[in-house]
Amino acid sequence: MPIGNILARSRLGRDMQQKDLAAALGVARSTVSAWEKGHRTPDADQVRELCRLLHVSADVLLERAPFELLAMPAKETQ
């Protein structure tokens, strides 16, 4: 599955809009759209941040492992 499809499925699985993901990454919404459509590819730093935000492994994003949407970690209380 191409990285764009994995990004879209992961984002939607987290009930997140493109604009929300873009804001969290500090990029334009059109950048996220271009990634999902396969017109552009995120750089290494963006892949690392996408993994953190979407809670998906880099192996999955880079098509080295099958897609699997992992459970989000529990939020810590202070």
Query: Which residues 6+ apart lie within 8 Å of 30 measured at CB?
Result: none
* pLDDT at residue 78 in the model: 47
Pick 3-61's CATH classification: 3.40.1190.20, 3.30.450.20, 2.40.50.140, 1.10.260.40. Answer: 1.10.260.40
* pLDDT at residue 63 in the model: 72
Q: Is the pTM of this model over 0.85?
A: no
Using CA atoms, how far residue 70 sits from 5, 9, 55, 66, in Å, is 16, 12, 7, 12
**What is the residue whose two structure tokens read 């499809």?**
5
Q: What is the pLDDT along the chain (78 residues), one digit of tens a residue?
A: 788 988 999 999 889 999 999 999 999 999 999 999 999 999 999 999 999 999 888 887 877 655 556 555 655 444
